[in-house]
Amino acid sequence: MTLAFAVADETKSGREKLATLLRIQNPHFHLCVIPGLLNDTYKIQGQWHAELENRSIPYLQDDKEYSECEVYRYTNGVGFSTNVTESCHAWVYDRSTFDRTVVTDLNLVCGDKMLRTYANMILMGGLLVGSLVLGSLSDVIGRKKVLLIGVAGHFGSSLGVTFVTSYEAFVILRFSTTFFGIGMFLSAFVIGMELVGPSKRKYAGIVIEIFWCIGLFIQNGVAYGLRDWRYLQAALSAPTVLFLSYWWLLPESPRWLINKGKLKEAEIVIKKAAKGNGVELSKKALRLDELEVEGEGERIWHMFTTPVLLIRSLVIFFNWLVASMVYYGLSLNVGGLSGNIYLNFFISAVAELASYIFCLLLLDVTGRKPLQCISMLVGGVACIATMAPVITDAPEWITMVLSMVGKFGASAAFAVIYVFSAELFPTVMRNSGMGLSSFSARIGGVVAPYIADLGDMVDGHFGVALPLIIFGGASVLAGLLALLLPETLDRKLPDTVEDAKNFAKQKKASAYVLDNMAEEKDSSNGKYNQAFTPDGSY
């Protein structure tokens, strides 16, 4: 029986079949509770249930589905009205995929549907504010302290979400979770970049993204096994407490310690690193008190004081914004793709993992600048190409493939710009610069849903294509602008604003060059680790 025929069939049997058929084809996951029916369920319980639902819930001819938010008025002793509807205040949910979600627990549907959008905006707001506040704080009190603050705050907030019973508490704790989470991630990333030499920076910058991707696979597997959102939230939050052990396991960034004049602490970290690498540094190489540290008092706004640094910073920020906009736009759209949501998420994570391996293999071959440009162009062209199957009603797998190619490009661009930015910002403001970059990324994340909604304001195929044109065009533009940035491959990190200003002109030595000292090899074994020479590039 076709849908058109079923709609026209007004017999009792036809109406029962119609209700069952619509349940199969209805793309939504909730319906109003049938008035007067105790213990109503989303799943059809029999012909009597299908007939009762067909008489109590309006059928929308234009949408070819039952109304999700209205029922026919019901009067005891009289029954259902045939032409008077009213808003419902209770719903039944499809639990074939999830047992319980935040949406089903808090009834974030119909009139409260926009609360879901607000919750996501508040989530991105936590990332945005955390990037600014904790990113800057890390340059003041240290990377390690902010990392531990982030761990403690993220653990408490994310575990607390498990027990919320109100929308207000949910969004407050979600804001707190991402606020501390981004501070934790940025600090960990910067410590990793500052602890290694030029030849190892690609591993520090990209491998952390690979672990991020491993987390996606773990999340998908745990979510597949735990279909109740509270159990899932608790299971994913609890292990965070283990990272408190980093207070004893993780050293502070020696680069930050030296810039803050904490030379004794820096010496301890350097000695431990040298011992771990099997290197014995001479006494001359450890005379940190003789170093002349420059850049004291410089802040992130000093990067905007000259045209070259201003343009460079704006290009970096724009690349972060667009990479985030495309990345999160495609990531959050996984649930909107056809097929099983867990399989789609898995495929999306595979595409992301492939992009990081791609970056790991090519980052030191092509350099940062070409790879950033190529990644952005791939993501942009894939977004624009997605218009074709959308407009022509091509098979859904084509849309899926193009979406995954776009995810590949956006993920690669995100990974490269993380490394690229950390290498371009000077030490005295590196975490602040990364925080401001992350702030720009969150603007992209907040703006993305509004760009996607532009399609609702324009009729026809152009309305469908408009968001894709904007996403793809912005990505292509960002990729081309990346060509204005100086290459950082095998270059030592800048320590001051002056270093950053002259970065593209020459390989300026650090204010505390110790490579000559380090060349005084130990006579006992002659071991010398070039990657660890404290010349401003470790």
Instruction: List pLDDT tens digits, range 219-245.
Output: 999 999 999 999 999 999 999 999 999
With a pLDDT cut of 70, the percent of the chain lying above it is 75
Q: What is the pLDDT of residues 276-326, one digit of tens each?
A: 777 776 665 565 555 545 445 556 666 677 788 888 889 999 999 998 888
290: left (phi over 0), alpha (psi -120 to 50) or beta: alpha
The whole-model pTM stands at 0.73
Range picked from 246-260, 496-510, 511-525 for highest mean pLDDT: 246-260
Residue with structure tokens 């010398």? Answer: 528
3-state class (DSSP) for residue 81: strand
Residues 6+ apart with CB under 8 A from 148: 244, 246, 247
Nearest to 318 by CA among 441, 155, 470: 441
**Model pLDDT, residue 155:** 95
Residues 97-135 pLDDT 10s: 888 999 889 998 888 888 887 888 888 888 888 888 888
> What's the pLDDT at 286?
60
**Residue 485 to residue 507: CA distance in whole angstroms:** 16
Residue 176 CA to its chain's centroid (Å): 16
Q: Compute the distance between CA of residue 191 and CA of residue 494 in angstroms, rounded to an integer.
A: 15
362 has pLDDT over 60: yes
Quick one: pLDDT band at residue 494, thresholds 50, 70, 90? confident
**What value does the CA radius of gyration of the chain take, rounded to a whole number of Å?**
28
Mean pLDDT of the chain: 77
Q: Distance between CA atoms of 314 and 416, rounded to whole angstroms?
A: 16
Q: What letter does residue 509 receive in the DSSP assignment?
A: P
Q: How confident is the model at residue 9 (pLDDT cuts 50, 70, 90)?
A: very low
pLDDT at 25: 39
What pLDDT is stored for residue 407 in this prediction? 83
State the Cα–Cα distance between residues 538 and 532, nearest whole angstrom. 5
Q: What confidence tens digit (pLDDT) does each residue in 239-251 have?
A: 999 999 999 988 8
Contact, 279 vs 528, CB < 8 A?
yes
DSSP summary character for residue 492:
P
